[in-house]
Amino acid sequence: MNPIQAQLAHTLRGTDFEELGERYVGKVRDVYAQDDRLIIVTTDRVSAFDHVLGTIPFKGEILNRMAVDAFRATEDIAKNHLIAVPDPNVVVAKKLKAYPVEMIVRQYITGSLWRDYQSGVADAYELAFAPDLKKDQRFEAPIFTPSTKAEIGTHDEPISKAKIVERGLMTADQLERAEETARRLFARGAERAAARGLILVDTKYELGEDEDGELYVIDELHTPDSSRYWIAEEYEARFAAGDAQRMLDKENLRGWLIEQHGFSGHGTPPALDDEIRVTLASRYFDAYARILGAPFEPTVGDVGDRIRDNLAAAGLL
């Protein structure tokens, strides 16, 4: 049996390790808080339009491995929260104060920004968008489009830099430093993607600071869940023809939800059937191989049991 199909019954929906400390359950990650550190478990949950929809085989391991690789490849740009990796799905991270704003950098107008542009919501960024932009068009230079952070089941909202400071979400100095760091991270990510024949279209960064005000990169970095990737060699022809780009990110799921089920975040989301779960897992395998330059080698089995064993071996349980 295909390992993806074999893993359908073993995906990690969630964890409950009481010994690790107080647990916070996010859209994708279970986070256990300790005195000065966090134990972050990347589950196989998948979310879109701010709804958790189900699980995808091996998704958590793939995302965690890719994020760890990206953290290590950008340590010269900014510090990150990574302390240790006791399991393929788990990181031990430095506890930091996260900024209440997502730092989003975009090189192309597509996805949510294109939808906002069409509906007029993009004005919230207080940026000067040309009136005749086309879907998937490249900006002359990357743009910075931050958003507020939403609770599960509610939607992130676009916000301007001026409003961030005005509302007291961040100081002007914090925001300036965060934007500069996000842009440098994006440049590095785009460079690494180009070397693999990919385009880093846009990405979101989670940033925070320690007790001394030093900036850190947290959460995840340059994964298919936080970033949009296209196949570089096909971009021009597809853009000229008005065709959809070949994607390596969650926009595949968003497209399935919109086109097949008419769901774009409002009401009750459809259940993921095994066919789309296998299809999406295959896309994550492809993304891993293309972005990291080596194939993902899956091991079928109970993810939760493996994590417990590895945490115990690391002295964390």
pLDDT beyond 70 at 141: yes
The Cα-based distances of 189 to 97, 105, 168, 243 in angstroms read 24, 11, 30, 25
* pLDDT over 90, % of the chain: 79
pLDDT score recorded for residue 150: 65
Whether residue 200 is predicted with pLDDT greater than 70 in this model: the reply is yes
Predicted pLDDT at 81: 98
Q: How far is it between the farthest Cα atoms of the chain? A: 58
Least confident of 13-27, 101-115, 256-270: 256-270
Domain ranges of the chain: 3-96+272-313, 98-241
Q: Is the confidence at residue 99, as pLDDT, over 60?
A: yes
- Among 20-34, 80-94, 262-276, name the one with the lowest average pLDDT: 262-276
pLDDT of residue 255: 75
State the pLDDT at residue 249: 62
SS (H, E, C) 51-113: EEEEECCCHHHHHHHHHHHHHHHCCCCCEECEEEEEECCEEEEECCEECCEEEEEEEEECHHH
Of 82-91, 119-128, 172-181, 288-297, the poorest mean pLDDT is in 119-128
Judge contact between 236 and 134, C-beta under 8 A. Answer: no
Q: Report the share of the chain in percent with pLDDT over 70.
A: 97
Mean pLDDT score across all residues of the chain: 93
Average pLDDT over residues 287-303: 95
What average pLDDT does this structure show over 223-240? 94
| Window from 25-34, 56-65, 153-162, 297-306 with minimum mean pLDDT | 153-162
What's the mean pLDDT in 222-230? 92
* Backbone torsions φ then ψ of 189, nearest 5 degrees: -65, -40
Residue 169 has pLDDT above 60, yes or no: yes
Angle at the Cα of 207 from the Cα atoms of 203 and 212, rounded to 5 degrees: 160
pLDDT tens across 3-47, in order?
Answer: 999 999 999 999 999 999 999 998 899 999 999 999 999 999 988
CATH topology for 3-96+272-313? Phosphorylase Kinase; domain 1 (3.30.200)
Choice among 15-24, 42-51, 79-88, 162-171 with the minimum mean pLDDT = 42-51
**Residue 59 pLDDT:** 96
Distance CA 27, CA 4 (A): 22
Confirm if 36 and 54 have CB atoms less than 8 A apart.
Answer: no
* Assigned token pair, 164: 């961030």
Which one has a higher pLDDT value, 123 or 149? 123
Look at residue 300 in the predicted model and tell me its pLDDT.
Answer: 97
Average pLDDT over residues 112-121: 90
How many CB atoms within 10 Å of residue 234? 14
Helix (H) or strand (E) holding 138: strand 137-144
Q: How confident is the model at residue 313 (pLDDT cuts 50, 70, 90)?
A: very high
CATH fold, domain 98-241, is D-amino Acid Aminotransferase; Chain A, domain 1 (3.30.470)
How confident is the model over 262-278, as a mean pLDDT?
85
Give the pLDDT band (50/70/90) at residue 155.
low
Q: Residue 50: its pLDDT value, please?
A: 75
Q: What is the mean pLDDT of residues 143-153?
A: 80
Q: What is the pLDDT of residue 151?
A: 60
Q: Of 205, 155, 208, 164, nearest to 183 (Cα)?
A: 205
